[in-house]
Amino acid sequence: MAVDLAAVRQALAAQRIETPSWAFGNSGTRFKVFAQPGVPRSPEEKIADAATVHRFTGVTPTVALHIPWDEVDDYRALADHAASLGVGIGAINTNVFQDDDYKLGSVTNPDPGIRRKATDHLLQAVGIMDATGSRDLKLWFADGINYPGQDDLRSRQDRLASALREAYGRLGEHQRILLEYKLFEPAFYATDIPDWGTSYAHCIELGERATVCIDTGHHAPGTNIEFIVAFLLRQKKLGAFDFNSRFYADDDLMAGAADPFQLFRIMNEIVRGGALDPAYGINFMLDQCHNIEMRIPAIIRSVLNIQEATAKALLVDRDALARAQAEGDVLEANAVLMDAYDTDVRPLLAEVRSDLGLDPDPVRAYLRSGYQEKIVADRVGGRQAGWGA
């Protein structure tokens, strides 16, 4: 294969994935949240878990916060705490969906007072970015309606645009907005940002520091996600990923668990678009729920899955691919791509890890490390972190 293996190793060593503080806490479905022993009880403990994942994988040096779930008095101190554990603060995620006020929407609510409150929360989040040095304001709105007629779709867009403008105006020069979209849930008739096109159109109107965030679980059945990746890269409007996987809806399973070939195709477009390098600016985040499996090893496993998809994408013989494509040789072009996908890249990644001084098998290394037993023993009493907690 005409691939520069040293460059592949270097790219893999330089890859960066961000972990989400909330994935370390309890989560579940509307039917039940199963609590796990050892779950963090504070933002500090969540950051400690994130730092642990970084210690074993070597590629997750930042952790995203969720406000108000990670609310603290002193954000600078929290950032310092993170730094002392070897990680930095990543994206600041806003939450305008868990107050009773937000039953009919946040920034799109028909009530101007509630819109004001929600927009103020966005501005407050930028303040936290200032304090923590975070670059990214990640905006996901649960806003939408459950019944036709419940509210006016177009007016809600106007209200949304207004709040976005205000938040955008508050950004510092090196800060930016990551605007997420989602097909449905918790709204069941119409969601105010249901697809990448809606997010894109708002980002275009906001300006160049507004970019689209792709959550891999937020699409209609049959949606070709890697097409969206390729298209947004072409438009210079892809800012971030929320990685997870799904068989049905927003299942939030471990990245790569449901459709590893899709994850490979996504990373293939990233590599093809020259967007893997951290300098390009895409924030590759995880956003998952580990409802029944142990959380820290599940997050490690997800990181490994993304690394494996990336390694395969880096192994694609680009020259051979371009040649077959130019010749219209459908089978050969597909075969070149599949040749990379069918490769077992685990030995290659084991080498990369060894070169970085890491254990080649991060999951087993974690399980052997005693960390899990320690947190189960230590984290007794207090209130476990969790969705809404």
Site for its own copies in 26-45 (CB under 8 A): 27-32, 34-35
186 lines the binding site for its own copies (CB under 8 A) = yes
CA nearest 229: which of 313, 287, 153?
313
113 lines the binding site for its own copies (CB under 8 A) = no
Q: Which residues contact 64 (CB under 8 A, 6 or more apart)?
A: 18, 19, 20, 21, 90, 91, 92, 93, 138, 285
Q: Cβ 52 to its own copies, closest distance in Å?
A: 16
C-beta separation of 162 from 108 below 8 A: no
Count of CA atoms in the C-beta half-sphere (13 A) of 70 = 32
Q: Which of 89, 321, 352, 385 binds its own copies (CB under 8 A)?
A: 321
Instruction: Please name the residue that has the structure tokens 């105010």.
Output: 192
117 lines the binding site for its own copies (CB under 8 A) = no
Q: Which CB sits closer to its own copies, 2 or 292?
A: 292
200 lines the binding site for its own copies (CB under 8 A) = yes
C-beta separation of 13 from 352 below 8 A: yes
248 lines the binding site for its own copies (CB under 8 A) = yes
How many Cβ atoms from other residues are within 10 Å of residue 306's Cβ? 23
Q: Cβ 357 to its own copies, closest distance in Å?
A: 24
Beta bridge partners of 62: 18, 88
Residues in 148-167 at the binding interface with its own copies, rule: CB under 8 A: 148-154, 157-158
Residues in 352-371 at the binding interface with its own copies, rule: CB under 8 A: 363
Do the strands 144-145 and 190-191 form a parallel or antiparallel pair, or are they unpaired?
A: antiparallel
Q: Which CB sits closer to its own copies, 62 or 308?
A: 308
Query: What are the structure tokens assigned to 117, written together?
Result: 């409150």
Q: Which of 174, 279, 326, 357 binds its own copies (CB under 8 A)?
A: 326
Q: How far is CA 49 from CA 38, 43, 193, 299, 375, in A?
A: 10, 10, 32, 10, 9
Residues in 226-245 at the binding interface with its own copies, rule: CB under 8 A: 226-227, 230-231, 233-235
Q: What angle do CA 368, 371, 374 make, to 5 degrees?
A: 125
**Binding residues for its own copies, how many (CB under 8 A)?**
104
Residues in 252-311 at the binding interface with its own copies, rule: CB under 8 A: 253-254, 257-261, 265, 269, 272-273, 291-294, 297-298, 301, 308
Residues in 69-98 at the binding interface with its own copies, rule: CB under 8 A: 97-98
103 lines the binding site for its own copies (CB under 8 A) = yes
249 lines the binding site for its own copies (CB under 8 A) = yes
Beta bridge partners of 190: 145
Q: Which CB sits closer to its own copies, 89 or 183?
A: 183
Query: What are the structure tokens assigned to 248, written together?
Result: 């049905």
Beta bridge partners of 179: 139, 212
Q: Which of 69, 141, 168, 196 binds its own copies (CB under 8 A)?
A: 196
Q: Which of 6, 147, 173, 279 binds its own copies (CB under 8 A)?
A: 147
Q: Which CB sits closer to its own copies, 233 or 375?
A: 233
> Peptide bond before 68: cis, by omega within 30 degrees of 0?
yes
110 lines the binding site for its own copies (CB under 8 A) = yes
